[in-house]
Structure formats: C-alpha cells, structure tokens
Structure 1
Amino acid sequence: MAASTTTSRPTPERIFNTMIAFQETEALKAAIELDIFTAIAEGADTAASLAAKTRAAERGVRILCDYFTVKELLTKKGERYALTQESAVFLNRHSPACLATMIDFLASPWSRKNFGVLAEAVRKGGTASETGDHTKAHEDIWVNFARSMAPLTIPAAEFIAGLTNAAEGRPCKVLDIAAGHGMYGITVAKRNPHAQIVAVDWPAVLEVARENAKKSGVADRHTTRPGSAFEVEFGEGYDFVLLTNIFHHFDVPTCEKLMRRVHTALKPAGKASSMRRCSATWDSQKRTCIPFRICHNKFCFQKNRNPHEEKSQASKEEEKRVGQQRQASARAPRLSFERRRGARALHGRSGGFSGSETRRFCRRTAAHGLATLGAFADRAMGHSGV
C-alpha cells in the first residue's frame, strides 16, 4: 500500500514577513536608541514612567513596548512591562553580555546602502560598492565596527587566548592583525602578564584599540603599527600571530600574500591562529554560514572579478612560487596544521612551504563557535538578576 502523503495549502506568510523584516530591525534600533530595555531594568516599567525617563511620547513608548511583547523581548502584566531573560542578558546595558552597541554597525547607513545594491553585487559576484575593497582605508566604517562590535568577541577572544597558552604565563610576543577594537590581543595580555601585543590596523581604528587597552590595564604592553596589513612593517620574532575574521574579506591570492608576510614575521616554532565564522554541519550552515555569505558577497572582493580568470592566474603564480620556494632557506619555518578544539593553528618547523599549503590554510582555517555566547550569558544572567 502506498504511503499516504499530506499536503498543505501554501501561505505567503514567510514571504510577507521577509518583505517587512527591515521593520523589525528599525523597531529594535529605536528601542536601543531610546534605552527602553535599560530603563525597564532600572525600574521604569510603565509607559508613563518610560516616557518620562526616555523623553519620548507616552503613546509612542506604549506602542513600541507592546510590539516587543509580541516579539517576546518584553512581558506585560496590567500596565507594567518587564524584561525577558533574553533581553535582560543581551539588551540591558548594565549586563556584561549586552550586545546593544552592535546595532550601530549592523544597521548602519553604510550597511543598509550596501544591501540596497545586493542585486548588482550578485550580478558581479562581489561588491558593487567602492567600500567593499578592504585593501583600502575606510576608517570611518571600521571605527564604527571597533566601537560597536566588541561585545560579540568576548567568548571568542577567551578561546583564542587559550590557543596561545596564555594561562602558562610565559613571555611571548603577539601580532594582532586587523586588530580593530583590539580585544583579541588585549585578552591575551590580560591572561598573560608577560605577553607583549603589537596591533596592526588603520590609524583611527587603532585609537579605539588603545582606549580598550588602557581600560583593560594593559596599555604598557600594547603597542600599535598603523597602516595596511599588506604594507606595514610587522617586525619579526613573533610567537603568535592572530588573524581573526579577516580572510573572508579577500580572494585567495590576496590571502596568500598576507600569509607569506605572516610566515616571515613568525619565529621558528611560532604559531598563527585564524578564526572566522563557519560551521561543521550542513544544518547549522543553513542557519548561520550561508546567510553570512550573502552579507559578504555585498561587501567583499574586488569588483568585476572573473573567477575562471582568477583561477588560471593563481595557478600560474603558484607554479612560479613553488619553484622559488624550493630554493628557500632551510631555516624558514614550514607551516603545518593542527586541529585544536575546532580551530586551525599553524606551527612552524624548519624547511620551506608550498603555495598549496598556504592556499589550503586560507580556504580551511577556522574556529568554530564564534557566535556562541552561551557560557558568557550564563554568567551575565547572574549579574542581571535573571
């Protein structure tokens, strides 16, 4: 007997909700801008008291708060609003896990402008915007990023610090490339009182890193080298090089160029650790990585790149490099892989290294769990009283 099948009538609900999803972003942006969630945490729990505290119209506040009761970020009993566990941890500015500042970058005019030309980016297979070429300085964008996105790095920075064996407290020299807010290197310095950090980024961005280093009490062990990671002099003798969330911004040849510079900066037996958003399973990729690719298709890679031409040119360059690298000095570190708790690390050993190894690293290096804030949220929940 044939298996029975059930059919349901199609509904446009998912399509409609996607069409108006920008409204949810704007509503959350408004609530964060008005500090609605923090005000409720401080005891202003009615529309009238919230209006007085936020200097907004009572009617407008009531409509906005009622909206977030539907979205399950607030609860309402009678006329009184309360935070949910989720909003208490992640949207209350008194919580150490608060992510509210991230809206300033994720919903910035620059981000929305780039999404506005997504169809053109799809046609080109890369950014349709001049600001999508990240080999050039767009300091206002990355200053915004550095000031807004630091909260997301907390668990990942702890993980990266573990890769450097910071807890052992051994003297070490760490190069933090594309440092941004600087929290990856700063976390290493906080965990290891004998670590010296050198941060590389655009000059204005490094001002944010300096501020964070001072706040964290490690300014005396945190120095900066302003400029492009493809041009600025790194120095040498590094025990560790941190490459966090950088490779997805560039094509493979550009990543290889950077890794050759990293290779030169590392001391023998030095290690480079890279991290980017990725996922181990197709199911989790569908939830995180594939949407992330859409995001970076609009921002990243140079315009009008032909992937077939790129592959052909890369192959020619690789053949040339392999011939040159076979003649490399025997003392140059050789790059090898070690998978450690979902991360890929590069260890140095004597000998040359092939272009295929670098290419494989650029394509595969990753650390899992970038978006995981669970453990930190557990601590924050106690701090927030939820």
Structure 2
Amino acid sequence: MPSRDNAVTRERLLEMMTAYKSTYLLRAAIELKVFDALANGPCDPDDVAAILRTDPRATRVLLRALAATGLLEVSGEQFTLAPGAAELLVTTSPGYGGGVVKVAASDHEWDAMRDLAEVVRRGGTLLGTGAEAPGFDYWVDFAEHLTFATKPGAEWVAELLGPWAGGREGLTVLDVGCGHGLFGFTLLGRHPGARGWCLDWPNVLEVAARHADRLGVADRVAHLPGDAFEAPLGGPYDVVLLGNVLFQFSQRRATELLRRLAGVLKPGGRVVIVSFTTGDRPPAEDHHAHLLGLLMLGWTAGGEMHSPTAYRKMLATAGLGATEAHERPGFPLRVITGERP
C-alpha cells in the first residue's frame, strides 16, 4: 500500500507500468499448476515440463521468471517452492489461495478497465452488460473462489451479532446478493436453530448451495433467485445481510434497496452492511477501496464506494435507527448496522 510520503519517482512509475507482467505470470503458473509439480521436491525444467506436458524451453523461461519474482527458489537448474508457496499455491493445501486470481485478476476486470480513460470521458461503463445485471459470469467466480477476507469477515460479523442474535427466538437471516453465502452460513453455524434465505442470480445460487452443503447448513437454507430490487423477498427476518453489494449502485439506488429490505425486517431486526468504504480517511489508508471504486466506475451504471457516514444516512432514510459503524485494525472491510424500531 503506498504511503502519502512516497515521492513520485522513476522507480515507482516503472513498478506501476510493469505490474501487469507479474499478474499474467502468476495467472499462468496457477493455471498450469506449476506449484503442484514442485510440491514433492526439487525438479529441473525438463522434469516440470514432463509433469505439466508443456514445452521444455517455454517451461524453463517460465520457471526462471517465477524465481525472479520470488515465487520459486533455484539452485543451478533445480527449482523448489519458495517459503509460503506450499501453503498458498499448491492446490491440495487446506490454505490454497490460488483460485482468488479468478477474482482479483479476472478477465472481466481487464475487459472493463483496459480503456479507463474512455470510461472517465463517458462517465461510466463501456460494457454491454454491467456487473449489476443478470448473466454477469464474474459473480460465479466470486462465489466459487473465496478471497482472503471472506472467512475472517464472516466470522467477525457472526461475533458482532452473537449476543443479540442468541436472544432472538428462531433466528431468520436473509443474505441479499449472497454470492458465496458465507456471511449467512457462518451465522447459521453459530446458531443451530437459525434458518437462512439466499438471494442472488440462479447461477450464483448453485455455487452458494455447494458452500452450504460443505459447511453443514444446507438443510436450513432456502434460495430466492432473482433481482434484489424485484424478487419476492418473503420474510419477515431478524437479520438482512448485504456483503459488498451496495457499492454497485449510486447512493440513491442503494437507499431504494435498503428501504425495500427494511420492509421485511421484524421489529428490532437488523440490516448488516459489510463493505469496503472510503471518504473518512486519507485515500492512501484505503488504497484497495479506492481502486475498487475505479472498478465500479468501469463496470456498473452508477456504482461507487460509499463512506460509513453515507451508509448511516442511507439506513436512516430507509427508516432504520440505532445505526453503528464497526472497524477492526488491519482489516479492510467495515460493518455498518441499522435496526428497525
């Protein structure tokens, strides 16, 4: 993350100009399963090429580039995994994180952002179908490949709601734009009598269903396919969750959705927004959130990052009181809650 004290230097500019080369190198190595090929010990390029069924010369060039970036180590012609690679980049590892590349470095993002200058000239997306529309395949990848913040974020939300949720008889949870569904599923896991409803596009709900099964809560989860602005919501609910959803929309549009969701809350029920935010700290302290804001500019009709203050105003306008904003040191997401009187 850059510091406000960093001067603009030739070195810094060159690093930014060439950063995409590290991205396509990592993407290729993950797709080819290079790290799996080295999981059992040192290999030379010919051995790796035989395992991967790739061209020997091209494999040698790739391995040297991976060593140059610190993802591999090399002694003579013997390549080995760098410290940490076995845990994060070997597919059989419980801590495998390579799949996140489909989210953090997706083709969808590149297609939307390759001509950011024109996006800024026009004031919005150049894509025929924006990220908030049905059929946007990125959300399937997002649901399938959990980011490094997903599980900690879901556990944090469950902790914040713990004592309050434990006092609600027959806890009911609606997860709007659920994606992977982990925010709701983690809450259900802590409250055995709770039931959950997942609202998202049908192809995304298929992935969420697999996560629910893996986490042992599938028998307590129902699915609501469709558009959050139009689909029947059912209810009423004790908790309505919105994880990284509202920044896909303008403040006006997000408020419309919150007003609709407030209508399906039980008295004393809570809306819980989990989101990256901007606006209340220097931009360098919310580096990732501001870059994500650029992405919303590039692939939605009116999305942008909102501040905690803006979220609290939206909740209040939707008729929800007792709004609170929570943050955790070192964690990029905020949690903002509002309660139905």
TM-score by length of 2: 0.82
Matched, 1:157 2:154: yes
Give how far 1:348 is off: 2.5
List alignment gaps of at least 5 residues for structure 1: 1-9, 306-317, 326-332, 350-386
| Equivalence for 2:262 | 263
Matched, 1:347 2:333: no
Per-residue CA deviations over 1:312-334 (Å, capped at 9, x if unaligned) read xxxxxx9xx98xx9xxxxxxx74
| Equivalence for 2:20 | 22
Structure 1 SS opposite 2:79:
strand
Per-residue CA deviations over 1:94-148 (Å, capped at 9, x if unaligned) read 33332211222333332211112311211133222232261x2124232232223
Larger radius of gyration: 1
| Equivalence for 1:295 | 295
Aligned partners of 1:133 and 1:74: how far apart in 2?
Answer: 36
Per-residue CA deviations over 1:289-319 (Å, capped at 9, x if unaligned) read 222222222122349x9xxxxxxxxxxxx9x
Tell me: CA distance 1:284–1:162, structure 2 relative to 1, closer, same or farther (3 Å).
farther
TM-score by length of 1: 0.74
Q: Is the 8 A contact 1:150 1:181 kept in 2?
A: no
For 1:144-183, list aligned pairs within 5 A: 144-149=141-146, 152-165=149-162, 168=166, 171-183=170-182
Q: Is the 8 A contact 2:174 2:197 kept in 1?
A: yes
| Equivalence for 2:110 | 112
Give how far 1:261 is off: 1.2
Give how far 1:44 is off: 5.5
Aligned partners of 1:145 and 1:233: how far apart in 2?
Answer: 24
* Number of aligned residues: 315
RMSD (Å), alpha carbons? 2.8
List alignment gaps of at least 5 residues for structure 2: 1-7, 305-313, 329-334
Correspondent of 1:140 among 110, 134, 137: 137
Aligned partners of 2:71 and 2:167: how far apart in 1?
Answer: 42
Aligned partners of 2:94 and 2:151: how far apart in 1?
Answer: 10
Give how far 1:207 is off: 0.8
Tell me: CA distance 1:302–1:130, structure 2 relative to 1, closer, same or farther (3 Å).
farther
Q: Which has the higher helix share?
A: 1
Aligned partners of 1:140 and 1:133: how far apart in 2?
Answer: 9
Give how far 1:163 is off: 2.5
Q: Is the 8 A contact 1:180 1:209 kept in 2?
A: yes
For 1:1-386, list aligned pairs within 5 A: 12-43=10-41, 45-132=43-130, 134=132, 136-149=133-146, 152-165=149-162, 168=166, 171-278=170-277, 281-282=281-282, 284-285=284-285, 287-302=287-302, 334-342=320-328, 343-349=335-341
Tell me: CA distance 1:199–1:286, structure 2 relative to 1, closer, same or farther (3 Å).
closer
Q: Is the 8 A contact 1:178 1:243 kept in 2?
A: yes
